[in-house]
Amino acid sequence: MTARIFAYIEHKDSLADDSAAEFLSAAKKIDVAASPTAVVAGSGAGLDAVCTSLLGSYAEVWKVGNEALAYPNAELVRQALVAILPGGSILLVPHDHFGIDLSPGLSIKTNSAFVPDVVGIDGAEGSYLKLVRQEFGGQVSAHVRCDISYGAILNIRPGAFKAQEAAVSGSIVDKSPLVGTLTAKRRFLEKIAVDGGGIDISKEPVLVSIGRGIQEKDNVGIAQELADAMGAVVSCSRPVVDAKWLEKSRQVGSSGKIVKPKVYLACGISGSFQHLAGIKGNPFLVAINKNPKAPIFQVADIGIVDDILEFLPELTNQIRETCCVPSGK
């Protein structure tokens, strides 16, 4: 195993993304002896701060400074990486809105293999890596064999590998002079935050969350009635927003809000990793789903196999009866 391993470090507000620590353990699964090199692209003082913050965990930090990289436009970052990465390298990138934008095209330009959304690494055998992915929304997993003779770009699922500490005393290598002038046919204009509409689900302690299992817009009221009876708020998974049954501000997940409730009722939600990535703080998680094989049952504390359209109204009635009457009547 001789391929050099690089970790692409995302950062925001001068802080490295959590994936920076996760890539240390992912690299060890490729090669126990690996000492991966961090690659950080950006500009100005923020870039320097991120590079410095990585010196305790990465033995070498490659700094790629360029004014054009002040915002991480994937097309510009790709040009910079093509300029600096040695042939045959393995590059780890977070499988998120940036990695999805960057890596497929980067793999073409570096003539290396690309494996998206990697959740496990079973190690190397000669010039092959054995990796684990998921398909069909996590219903089944797959072993994937990847030829790394010409290097590889591996998009790693955020959270799939344990964050690891390393005790090194690293150094920064400035690769900026190799980059040259960057120009793109796609230009970043602005970022627009989602409108919360008065309710902030990220601050609510109890959420009644609905998914595709709610089936139609008229049924959203069933969840709202339960939430009202519980003193909770209704949130949802992506398909409910796609169908325009609820506002975007109610969506829990990596492309929605990150929530930290005490109690989370997942109703008719299958439990895709994008949805689960939005649930933090280890809440008491109750899953109600008519499919006993729904992935949500793997992560829930309590599971109920039932049709939410029948179960939720009965639950609402029972809560109204037992909880609204003063105890000890």
Partner 1 sequence: MEILVCAKRVPDTSENEIELNASGNDIERDDVVYSVNEADNYAVEEALQIVAREGGHVTVVTVGSEEDEEVLRREMAMGANQAVLLSDEAFTGSDGKGIATILKAYVTKNHFDLILTGVQAEDGAAQVGGMLAALLDYPYASLVNSIEVVDAKKLKVSREIEGGSKEVNEIDLPCVLSIQTGINEPRYVGMRGIRQVASVEIPTLGPAELGVDAGTVGEAGAKVKRVDYFVPEAGKGAEILQGKREEIIAKLIELMKAKGGLK
Task: Give the Cβ contact number of residue 6 at 10 Å.
Answer: 26
Using the rule CB under 8 A, which residue among 38, 233, 300, 308 binds partner 1?
A: 300
Residue closer to partner 1 by CB (options 66, 202) is 202
Residue closer to partner 1 by CB (options 88, 166) is 88
Judge contact between 300 and 279, C-beta under 8 A.
Answer: no
Distance CA 91, CA 75 (A): 16
Q: At its nearest, how many Å lie between partner 1 and the CB of residue 289?
A: 10
Part in contact with partner 1 (CB under 8 A); list of ranges 1-9, 50-58, 67-75, 218-226: 67-75
Burial of 100 per CB tally in 10 Å (0-12, 13-18, 19+): middle
Q: Which of residues 24-63 bind partner 1 (CB under 8 A)?
A: none
Part in contact with partner 1 (CB under 8 A); list of ranges 40-48, 174-182, 217-225, 318-326: 318-326
Q: Which of residues 260-289 bind partner 1 (CB under 8 A)?
A: 262-263, 265, 284-287
Part in contact with partner 1 (CB under 8 A); list of ranges 18-26, 48-56, 61-69, 251-259: 251-259
Residue 141 tokens, joined: 């997993």
What letters, b where the CB count within 10 A reaches 16 and e where it falls short, cover 271-294? bbbbbbbbbeeebebbbbbeeeeb
Q: Residue 158: what residue type?
A: P
Q: Which of residues 86-115 bind partner 1 (CB under 8 A)?
A: 96-98, 100-101, 103-109, 113-115
Burial of 124 per CB tally in 10 Å (0-12, 13-18, 19+): middle
Residue closer to partner 1 by CB (options 57, 79) is 79
Q: At its nearest, how many Å lie between partner 1 and the CB of residue 169?
A: 32
The mark string for 121-140 relative to partner 1 (x by CB under 8 A, - otherwise) is: ---------x--xxxxx-xx
Q: What is the DSSP letter of 222?
A: H
Q: Does 159 sit near partner 1 (CB under 8 A)?
A: no
Distance CA 17, CA 9 (A): 7
Q: Does 174 sit near partner 1 (CB under 8 A)?
A: no
Task: Give the Cβ contact number of residue 21 at 10 Å.
Answer: 18
Beta bridge pairs of residue 285: 264
Three-state secondary structure along 56-74? CCCCEEEEEECHHHCCCCH
Using the rule CB under 8 A, which residue among 186, 218, 325, 329 binds partner 1?
A: 186
Q: Does 162 sit near partner 1 (CB under 8 A)?
A: no
Q: Does 18 sit near partner 1 (CB under 8 A)?
A: no
Task: Give the Cβ contact number of residue 83 at 10 Å.
Answer: 14
Determine the size of the site formed for partner 1 (CB under 8 A): 95
Q: At its nearest, how many Å lie between partner 1 and the CB of residue 103?
A: 7
Q: Which of residues 195-224 bind partner 1 (CB under 8 A)?
A: 205-206, 212
Beta bridge pairs of residue 91: 6, 153
Part in contact with partner 1 (CB under 8 A); list of ranges 20-28, 39-47, 49-57, 245-253: 245-253
